[in-house]
Amino acid sequence: MPRNEAGRYRHIEVQPVAGALGAEIRGVNVAGALDDAVIAEIRRAYLDHLVVFFRDQKLTPHEQLAFAKRFGEPMEYPQLEGLPECPLITPVVKLAHEQINFGGVWHSDTTYLARPPMASMLYAVEIPPYGGDTIFANQYTAYDTLSEGLRGALDGLVGVNTSTKAEASKTREDRLRAAGVEMKVLTSEHPVARTHPETGRKALYVNHGHTARFKGWTEEESAPLLAYLFQHQVRLELTCRFQWQPGSIAFWDNRCVQHNAVNDYAGFKRLMHRVTLAGDTPR
């Protein structure tokens, strides 16, 4: 991942925010009519830094959706309703009286789908006066920093991912209950180490929120190795932390990034608008 940005971008300013991953993009109004050269540089920064951030944006749901469409095909988020006026925008909300937040566990989005999303784009509409940060973790480096022996063992394993693993499903229960929707059981199998279709790099592709066991192994047999991987892949030196402001955007690559929404703002509302971009079948 290049850390010296001098001369790499002509149309945007890219400022890394941490050594592991993450960069802030400046000088762009994403609601405007951006030409293809600007979009190409944003995509390059996204691939280089895994998650990119924008500040001080003012977006309607349709403007956010239009910007997201420059990078991929929006998809419905499973089991949650979109906005009535813009169904492909999903509101992510924690109300002041609620104790459990949405996405408050380390995970890569919806890996229980056969074709998990390529990317997610989150826009801050209303944030608490403090707290509510999101932490991201680099899964390329998580894989690269395992021993050669363990990497070799993992290359032959397949993870079984489910939508009903307790740590993640409890973060969706309030939203589903309010919508009168029953939790669906969705399960899919993916390589424990996947190859990124654009960069060709390998990334660790299990996560605490959804991976229940290894294919052909029992949950009891899988638990010790999964527990090691779960703590290894989110070590502090693999992460960056984003402090939200109204109008902030985070745009991250679900194929090589995990994230965790920190639940430390009890008594306050937090409202975000999310677009999910369709992905491929992990290989």
- If DSSP states are collapsed to H, E and C, what string results for 209-278? CCEEEECCCCHHHHHHHHHHHHHHCCCHHHEEEECCCCCCEEEEECCCEEEEECCCCCCCCEEEEEEEEC
Residue 104 is which amino acid? Answer: G
Instruction: Please state, in angstroms and rounded to a whole number, the distance separating the CA atoms of residues 276 and 251.
Output: 10
List beta partners, residue 189: 160
List beta partners, residue 159: 190, 214
Instruction: Please state, in angstroms and rounded to a whole number, the distance separating the CA atoms of residues 150 and 221.
Output: 16
Tell me the three state secondary structure of residue 155.
Answer: coil
Instruction: Please state, in angstroms and rounded to a whole number, the distance separating the CA atoms of residues 14 and 9.
Output: 8
Instruction: Please state, in angstroms and rounded to a whole number, the distance separating the CA atoms of residues 195 and 282.
Output: 7
Active site residues per annotation = 107, 109, 259, 274
Q: Residue 176 contacts by C-beta under 8 Å, 6 or more apart in sequence?
A: 79, 80, 182, 183
In the structure encoding, which two tokens stand for residue 257, read together? Answer: 């990034």
